[in-house]
Every structure is written in C-alpha cells, then in structure tokens.
Amino acid sequence: AKERVIPIHQNAVNVIREYLAEARPRMSNPRSGRSLFLNRRGERLTRQGFWLILKGHAKRAGIKKKITPHTLRHSFATHLLRGGAPLRHVQELLGHASITTTQVYTHLTSEHVRSEYDKAHPRAR
C-alpha cells in the first residue's frame, strides 16, 4: 500500500489526542511497541480485532446488514460524492490509481442522480 496524507476532522484529532494522553498509556505494555491503537491486552489492534469491534457496534445499533471495515470505505466515498466532492478528489482520498476503481466504491441512489440532473441540465429547470 502506498503512503499518503489524508485530512481528518478536528474532532477526530481531539479524540485521538485524548486517547494518546489518557487511555493508551493505561493500556500499553512492553509488547505494545509503536502501534497507535491497542486491544484490551495492550497489543496492536489487528484488522480482525477492529472488524469485531465494528460488528459489535453495528449489532448494538440495530444494523442487520453485514458491516465490514471495507464497508466504511464505500460509505466514505458515497458520502463525499453526495456532499458534492468531485470524483477525482474522492479517488485521491481513497488512494486509487484508477478512477474506474473509485466508481465501484460509489453508491448513488436514483434520487441523488435525478437531483443532480435537475440541478445541472438546462431543460430540467
């Protein structure tokens, strides 16, 4: 995977700083190393561990659909596009070499497509 810089909201920065100052020091042990996120045993949080946490939150929220960490990438792309972000910017944020790959990640509803058509096409007004 290629390295890239991505923007994060100030609220997320604040939560991570709080975690680093308060929770992580209590959780860490000699096996923690430089890992940012730790599990209950003070070890690096694995992909599987994150998936289990996400699955638990989805269940408690009453979400019946299968949710995976990869689902978050699809949701991220879709929300950006619905919010007006250009597809090229979404491609860059997701780190895709091909715009075609990014298009697979976007799930636009027919209502959204119709709304964009109505806003953009001169005969639709």
What does the alpha-carbon distance between residue 35 and residue 104 come to, in Å, rounded to a whole number? 31
Q: Are 31 and 45 in contact (CB under 8 A)?
A: no
Beta partners for residue 38, in sequence order: 44
- The predicted-structure confidence for 111-120, as pLDDT tens digits, reads as follows 777 777 788 8
Which one has a higher pLDDT value, 103 or 26? 26
- The predicted-structure confidence for 59-96, as pLDDT tens digits, reads as follows 999 999 999 999 999 999 989 988 889 999 999 999 99
Distance between start and end Cα atoms, the chain: 45
The full length of the chain comes to 125
E strand or H helix that includes residue 93: helix 87-94
Please give the pLDDT value at position 1. 64
The answer, as to whether pTM is greater than 0.75, is no
Residue 109's pLDDT band, with cuts at 50, 70 and 90, is low
